[in-house]
Structure 1
Amino acid sequence: MYTELREVIVRHKRYVIIALAGATILFVLFKLFYPFADYSNDSYTYIGAAAMNDNVSIRPIGYSKFLRAFSAWSTSDIALTAFQYSLVTLAALYLFLTVIHFFRPGKVVSIVLFVLLLFNPVSLYIGNYIGSDALFAGLSLLWFTHLIWIINKPQPYDILIQALLLLLILTLRYNALYYPFITAVAFVLSRKKWWWRLSGAFTGILVIVLFISFVREQNYKTYGTRLFSAFGGWQLATNALYVYQDVKVDSKDFSQKDKAIDDAMKGFLKVNKMKEFPPLTSSFFLWDDKAPLKQYWFSYMRKYHTSKEDSIKVWNTMGPLFASYGKHIITDYPFSFAKNYLLPNAWAYCYPELEIFLQYNIGMDSVKMPAVDWFRYSTGKIHFFSRRGQTRLLHPFPVIFGVVNLGLIVLAIWIALKGRRYLRKRNYLLSFCLLYFFWIANIGFSVFAAPIVFRYQFFPMLIFIGLGGAITADLIRRKNIEYEK
């Protein structure tokens, strides 16, 4: 693989030089307009866990560990954001070189893919954000692109590389929980002996099992609760609350704890009308102090005289309780859950909200003390070109994401009806299958698991554009050649 990849780089060195030089120039210009990193409330959670060298946190701990490791080399936010942007750019370049090598989409299409993958402004803003998004996107691009190589040119060491990538990605965001199953598909589709393919598929699943077990034990040591993700329990209960929009929940068969949560929700509804509920992407029920889950959390701490210092421990204690409650509500009212949560979330998938990228630094002209201390700013005041300029610049990309998904649907229908013969070439057929396995898994996980926002769909968008665009272009080219004959 590496010998062949080096040959690809040499053969397309003009693309490589333009990509590296262009990315450097763009980043320098970008920092003239935004000299400071971008922050949200999540940023301070990551920084706080890094400062305390925690092994578990509300969020996956991987990014906090990365911040702490990077600080041994530099405490500059410019150096950090340059690294993050570079990772995304190099991973996108790896994807681009891979698809033009295996699928040869033609010069015009290659240039279009090159521009969309390497010079989109989203990479700059994600790279500038203090959060796990840039690392997650960059490593996920490396992971998926490596799967393309596994299908087309498998090597003995691919199993180890995939295991390492999966482990790193899982520490950053639990959205990657379905990645090992896509990895298993790639190994099964590869051209190697059956024992090697099964070993690769099994190793990916083993990574996720061992990782979940490790996190559960760390949570038990730290908070006394043996669970994988307290956040998952909070999120499941949050999703279930949307059932109350058109159902009068009957709590007579609830456990005492589930009934207490139900009472908190019904108390909330006495003074709040359902039509005034914020959209899913606002995460109101998850984070707002007036929301019923937070009120239940506060009442629990008051009841048991829990100090503020132990609030995170109680937050984790709530995870299993809320998970049980959420499962109960969803199981009892599946159709209402589908109508009030799944369908709106599916629609949001077609046009994902820009969310934190609607405005720089969540609309503030200063940063909080954890960022000041961590990056050694002289003051909390920051300056920038425009608070909402990025809204206008990034506004087209949710539309592009929706159009790209529509294109995948059209491509699948065309292949099913008329174009199956164009997939007779093995690498096209297997790569096509891998792309659509990933597409379906991403939709399913995104729609069911959490409110959909664009930064979570940035990496899938690049995959859909890169691999989907290259396959489509070459299929059309071969169809035209056949027609001319």
Structure 2
Amino acid sequence: MVLQFILIKYLYPFPNFMQDSYNYLRSAATNIDANLWPVGYAKLIRFAGFFSHCDHLLVFLQLFIYHICGLFYFHTLLALRPCSKWLQWTMFIFIFLNPAILYLSNYVTSDVYFIGISLVWMAQLFRLTYKPTLLLLSLHLLVLLLAFTVRYHALIYPVISMTVIVFCQYSATVKAWAIAMTIFLVGAFILYTTRQTETHMGRRQFSVFSGWQMANNAVYAYVHIPANKRSQDTVPPQFKDIHSRVHQWLDSVPMSQRPDRPIMAYFIWDPGSPLQPETGAQNISDNASHLRKMAQVAPLLNDYGKYLIARYPVPYIQYYIWPNLLQYMLPPAENLAVYNDGLDSVLPVAKDWFHYNTTHIYKRAGAELKYFNFYPYLMLLILLFFAIGWIKYLYQEGRAIANEHFRYALTIVTYYWLVNIGFSVLASPVVLRYQLFNMIIGATFGGMLWDMKVYGK
């Protein structure tokens, strides 16, 4: 880990920044408890800043947390069933020497932090099935809450955790307590965040970003509706203004210049988006007043997105759901394949937080980032590797060979992946950095399935 840290900081003396980075930094600087995203990662930035505002400390802390979490997950896998040496080394390399994890650790973003927490969460689920202690269950609830404060993707985690707890060897009283505590902790966080959003953003809502995401996804499909059909739309009065701006944008932007593939968050962040409350606004992520305006219209956009989807369900499936499902299997490299969005400077909030002398930053490398464009194919191979391994496991009587611990863990992973596919495809455009946790899960369990023939109970 230390050698990797030295290497990445030599190649990239400054962290990697994207639009999300500035929002997290502003949240850390102002210490607010509600923003477009959960503020758990902003609290990590602030925690690092308590000791030093040096960006090296934040990057090292992210890498260190991931490796500690990875060790817990790795040793949990080894405890499930005996593994051959080649499999142990393969899993070790994929977890700890993965270039994507190393480069993502140099990002000022919540991804690596969330991946680490997710590895612990998943490993705890495995342990709950064969080591059901009250201490482990209590710690699992805390990890679940922590994940919920970092990324909205963790919305599916309570559902999976409660399902697993029901089938664990606890008494009915303990199970009821655990489920009640899960609902209480998640509900309390949602209620607190909702109140804080009202305080800081002026509108009572849990997730500002979800409303924008709903509209973004719907408009991605709506742009493909023929003009003669769109002209016949009669929208409810509350949507007339935003619908008119969308039509003006469609009339002024040729089809060849409209965002199409891959599906991204264009209509959320691009200054030219017809959804933006201010046309041509710049530095959106580092503009508190503009973000407040985005929060004001988020509920309206949420309803507008649902309206478009309900009116054009087939085009929505054809132009958003299906392409996003393909992106799940072949996720675009997005920001992993470029440094600092291709710029040589950062916004003032980064300069101020990290105490830079100037907004100018530099790097000593960058050409190697193009290799992350091959990672989508690796994701596809891992999905096939896992799926074929599952088929092999079923048809070669794998259940009779595998021990009980591994069978439970495989069931949990399969259940997680089915829920994750549905949620990810419906919720937001899938990109590579969102899929790294799934790649680790798929590669490690795929390897264990293929290794089944060598080792039995």
TM-score calculated relative to the size of structure 1: 0.87
Q: Which residue is equivalent to 1:15?
A: none
Q: 8 Å contact 1:106–1:473 — kept in the other structure? A: no
SS state of the match for residue 298, structure 1? coil
Identity of counterpart residues, as a percentage? 30
2:310 counterpart of 1:331 = yes
2:177 counterpart of 1:195 = no
Structure-1 separation of matches of 2:288 and 2:329: 41
Structure-1 separation of matches of 2:435 and 2:307: 29
2:268 counterpart of 1:286 = yes
Q: Which residue is equivalent to 1:16?
A: none
Cα distance change, pair 31–266 in 1 and its aligned pair in 2 (3 A): same
Structure-2 separation of matches of 1:309 and 1:182: 36
State the shift of 1:379 in Å.
2.5
- Bigger drift between 369-378 and 412-421 goes to 412-421
Cα distance change, pair 419–206 in 1 and its aligned pair in 2 (3 A): farther
Cα distance change, pair 424–110 in 1 and its aligned pair in 2 (3 A): closer
Q: 8 Å contact 1:43–1:130 — kept in the other structure? A: yes
Structure-2 separation of matches of 1:290 and 1:459: 33
Q: 8 Å contact 1:95–1:466 — kept in the other structure? A: no
Q: Deviations over 1:155-193 (max 9, x none)?
A: 112232122112211121101110111111221232222
Structure-2 separation of matches of 1:154 and 1:179: 19
Tell me which amino acid in the other structure corresponds to 1:133.
D
Cα distance change, pair 147–309 in 1 and its aligned pair in 2 (3 A): closer
SS state of the match for residue 87, structure 1? helix
Q: Which residue is equivalent to 2:284?
A: none
2:14 counterpart of 1:32 = no
SS state of the match for residue 91, structure 1? helix
State the shift of 1:280 in Å.
4.0
Q: Deviations over 1:348-404 (max 9, x none)?
A: 111111111111111122222221221112232222122342222x33322222111
Q: 8 Å contact 2:213–2:265 — kept in the other structure? A: no
Q: 8 Å contact 1:181–1:205 — kept in the other structure? A: no
Q: Which residue is equivalent to 1:264?
A: 245
TM-score calculated relative to the size of structure 2: 0.92
* Aligned partner (choices 302, 319, 335) of residue 356 of structure 1: 335
Structure-1 separation of matches of 2:154 and 2:288: 31
Q: 8 Å contact 1:62–1:168 — kept in the other structure? A: yes
Cα distance change, pair 380–221 in 1 and its aligned pair in 2 (3 A): closer
Cα distance change, pair 135–251 in 1 and its aligned pair in 2 (3 A): farther
State the shift of 1:266 in Å.
1.2
- Bigger drift between 366-375 and 407-416 goes to 407-416
Structure-2 separation of matches of 1:309 and 1:25: 39
Structure-2 separation of matches of 1:432 and 1:128: 32
Query: CA RMSD for the aligned pairs?
Result: 2.2
Cα distance change, pair 217–405 in 1 and its aligned pair in 2 (3 A): same
Structure-2 separation of matches of 1:309 and 1:287: 14
* Aligned partner (choices 221, 236, 254) of residue 255 of structure 1: 236
Cα distance change, pair 387–107 in 1 and its aligned pair in 2 (3 A): closer
* Aligned partner (choices 352, 357, 361) of residue 378 of structure 1: 357
Q: Which residue is equivalent to 1:96?
A: 74
2:456 counterpart of 1:475 = no
Structure-to-structure mapping, 1:55-454, within 5 angstroms: 55-244=33-222, 245-246=224-225, 248-249=229-230, 254-278=235-259, 279-294=261-276, 297-298=277-278, 310-392=289-371, 394-419=372-397, 421-422=399-400, 425-454=403-432
- Unpaired segments ≥5 residues, structure 2: 282-286
SS state of the match for residue 270, structure 1? helix
State the shift of 1:250 in Å.
6.9
Structure-2 separation of matches of 1:362 and 1:252: 38
Higher relative contact order (CA closer than 8 Å, sequence separation 6+): 2
Number of residue pairs the alignment of both structures matches? 447
Q: Deviations over 1:283-342 (max 9, x none)?
A: 222211222101xx127x9xxxxxx86433221111110111111111222111111100
